[in-house]
Amino acid sequence: MLMNNNEVILLKYGEIVLKGANRHSFETVMIRELRRKAEKCGSFDISYNQSTVFIRPLPGTTEEQFNSMYEAAGRTFGFNAFCRAAVFEKSVEGLRHGIREYIVPKLAGKGSFKCESKRADKSFPLGSPEISAEAGGLILSELDRIRVDVHSPDAVVDIEVRGDGIYLHIGQEKGAGGIPVGTGGRGLSLLSGGIDSPVASFMMAKRGMKIEYIHFDSFPYTSEQALDKVVTLARILTDYTGPVFLHAVSLTEIQESLRASCNEEYFTLLLRRFMMTISERIARNFHCSALITGESLGQVASQTLEAINVTDSAASLPVFRPCIGLDKEEIVRTARKIGTFDTSILPYEDCCTVFTPRHPKTRPSLEKVLAEQAKVDFPGLCEKAMVTVRDFGLK
């Protein structure tokens, strides 16, 4: 079905309205990301003015294309709110026509409403209160059972008088928030197939970080499907992160060496130290200045403060752990919201579940861990793992 051609998508800026002189650079990044998404959805014109982005469908756009652009817009960081709106001629007659044609049918069946008007164009003959009164009066005369309720209305009719027309919409949805991806540096996210690390990656992307991923596999102990699952997770997240690279590294030889030479209680900690050191090397190769993990304090043995200290000391880049203070339930809620949960719970093994110690150390001392680590050729094994890297470009 073809679009009603005066409908547009409006996106309202979030915290970037607080940015001073460099606000323009944030706008440029946001618009670039929306244009990239628009290319996938159809043909749209995108512009911005007064803390609002306007996405206009070009002639021939279908309802489905418009809807997919609308969804994509809601997953773009930098915006607090978004809505569908329709544009009408900037005159009192245009206002009346728009209310009758676009708003009244949407209010049918609602019990109450209120009008909120903004007049960015001061040359318009009516002031904001008069615009609301005009629109409200018309709605009351067109619909029998509806009443005005300024405190808790069923629907809010927004009327924005702008330079090029009157924009009408009913309410708006909460946007993705955050700041535009690409304005907060680059981070390498350690992506397992679990629930937590996709959420951690999402949270850092929300703060503007451009994400790159590293995943550790243990073929043949882990399967090709386990890697596919991680690729799927990274791909789901591209709605938020934009295009990404995923680097897959094999830990098989490292795990076999640990099993052959080290005390089982230290397996997980040593494995995590290998992960951090290799991640740091990849991060530096790809110009990332931070590592990101999905750890949450106390969730498992390797996430006690002592264990985190032991892992942290294997890398010198800052390690961001945005889930550190979240409960599992809060992490799951976000995973569901961003669409990664159902994939994360697919039952494929992860390298950490291969050779899991029966009694992992929960309060390790770095000294003892380093003594265990000295039983294998740490630098040599890291070097060899670097040769196993496979890169995937995802968009």
**DSSP codes joined into one string, 342-380:** HHHTS----GGGTT--SS--SS--HHHHHHHHTTS-HHH
The residue range among 102-110, 159-167, 185-193, 381-389 that interacts with ligand ATP, by the rule CB under 6 A, is 185-193
Q: Which does 130 bind (CB under 5 to 8 A by kind): Mg ion, ligand ATP, none?
A: none
Q: Are 326 and 295 in contact (CB under 8 A)?
A: no
Judged by CB under 6 A, the residue of 5, 299, 362, 388 near ligand ATP is 299
State the virtual CA torsion across 140, 146, 147, 150 in degrees, nearest 10: -100
Query: Which of the ranges 152-160, 161-169, 189-197, 309-317 carries the binding residues for Mg ion, by CB under 5 A?
Result: 189-197
Q: Which of 194, 198, 242, 364 binds Mg ion (CB under 5 A)?
A: 194
Handedness of CA 28, 29, 34, 37 (dihedral sign): positive
Beta carbon of residue 250, minimum distance to ligand ATP (angstroms, whole number): 11
Question: Under a CB-based contact definition with an 8 Å cutoff, are residues 78 and 179 in contact?
Answer: yes
Q: How far apart are CA 322 and CA 211, in angstroms?
A: 14
Shortest separation between residue 302's beta carbon and ligand ATP, angstroms = 5
210 near ligand ATP, rule: CB under 6 A: no
Residue nearest to ligand ATP (CB): 194
Distance between CA atoms of residues 42 and 68, nearest Å: 9
- Judged by DSSP in three states, 111 sits in coil
Tracing tokens 């927004």 back to the chain, one arrives at 158
Point out which span in 111-119, 191-199, 221-229, 305-313 binds Mg ion (CB under 5 A). 191-199
Nearest to Mg ion by Cβ — which residue?
Answer: 194
Interacting residue with Mg ion among 52, 192, 241, 257 (CB under 5 A): 192
Separation CA 276–CA 291 (nearest Å): 8
Q: Kind and range of the H or E element at 223?
A: none
> Residue 258: which residues within 8 A CB-CB, separation 6 or more?
267, 270, 271, 355, 376
Do 388 and 282 contact (CB within 8 A), yes or no? no
Site string for ligand ATP, 129-168 (x = CB under 6 A): ----------------------------------------
d(CA 348, CA 227): 9
Q: Is 257 in the site for ligand ATP (CB under 6 A)?
A: no
Q: How far is the CB of 100 from ligand ATP (least distance, A)?
A: 53
Size of the site for Mg ion (CB under 5 A): 2
Decide if residue 198 touches Mg ion (CB under 5 A). Answer: no
Check residue 294 for interaction with ligand ATP (CB under 6 A): yes
- Least separation, in Å, of the C-beta of 337 and ligand ATP? 16
Closest CA to 35 of 59, 11, 63, 15: 11
Residue from 130, 154, 239, 350 touching ligand ATP (CB under 6 A): that is 350
Out of 162, 169, 215, 273, the only residue in the binding site for ligand ATP (CB under 6 A) is 215
278 part of the interface to ligand ATP, by CB under 6 A? no
194 interacts with ligand ATP by CB under 6 A: yes
| Binding residues for Mg ion (CB under 5 A) | 192, 194
| Binding residues for ligand ATP (CB under 6 A) | 190-192, 194-197, 214-216, 293-295, 299-300, 302-303, 350-352
